Amino acid sequence: DQQVKQNSPSLSVQEGRISILNCDYTNSMFDYFLWYKKYPAEGPTFLISISSIKDKNEDGRFTVFLNKSAKHLSLHIVPSQPGDSAVYFCAASPMNRDDKIIFGKGTRLHILP
Amino acid sequence: DTGVSQNPRHKITKRGQNVTFRCDPISEHNRLYWYRQTLGQGPEFLTYFQNEAQLEKSRLLSDRFSAERPKGSFSTLEIQRTEQGDSAMYLCASSLAGQSGRAFFGQGTRLTVV
């Protein structure tokens, strides 16, 4: 039973354009959401997060949007760069359980030259 | 500090053998996590420690799996009587309590059971 769903296994985007990665969740108790990035042969690295009290968080080229009513979040990368090619994991944490992170299956992003 | 370190990076073992992995977290981090990742999946939680106390274990962690963090520093994950289904990447992560979302992951140990 996937509580965090990333329905696109892969995505290809032209360099310089916007990359939009989507994530849906089913557990209404989730109140903290994160995106992790993973290169081959490395562990995931934290990218950006958002609390359920916000609907947008921005950090440089990366913006995460949260739509609580739709149980949906998205990661926007603009402009996309070759170094952004990686697997992106959406993750969520339940209320009062910051020790418990549930990951999605990931979306592989390819940035095309 | 070089981050979270895991050893070995790769392990090939025969079915039925025991294996042990080690994780050295970031020194000031009091929380340490073990995750398992199989092909096409995200990391799945196995267990975590706060200091030396093991506070939660997933139902994925069968009786053949045991984890320790004896002095609240490094941790070991042992798998007894390995099975082919144990083949996976085993990831360790560490964080400060209250910042678990911002966990720092090691490079993982890839286990292949033949």
Q: Do the Cβ atoms of B42 and A41 come within 8 Å?
A: no
Q: Do the Cβ atoms of A99 and B31 come within 8 Å?
A: yes
Q: What angle do CA B92, B95, B101 make, to 5 degrees?
A: 95
From B42, B99, B106, residue closest to A89, measured CB to CB: B42
**b vs e for A70-80, b when ≥16 Cβ sit within 10 Å of the residue's Cβ?**
ebebbbbbeeb
Considering chain B, what percentage of its residues have pLDDT values greater than 70?
A: 96
Amino acid at B91: L
pLDDT value at position B93? 94
Amino acid at A37: K
Q: Are A109 and B41 in contact (CB under 8 A)?
A: no
pLDDT per residue over B42-57, tens digit each?
999 999 999 999 998 8
From B55, B101, B107, residue closest to A101, measured CB to CB: B101
* Cα separation values, B11 from A8, A89, B44, B92, Å: 31, 25, 20, 15
Residue whose tokens read 């033949």 = B114
pLDDT per residue over A30-82, tens digit each?
989 999 999 998 899 999 999 999 999 999 999 999 999 999 999 999 999 99
Q: Do the Cβ atoms of B100 and A99 come within 8 Å?
A: yes
Given a cut of 60, whether residue B1 has pLDDT beyond it is: no
pLDDT per residue over B6-17, tens digit each?
999 999 999 999
Given a cut of 70, whether residue B94 has pLDDT beyond it is: yes
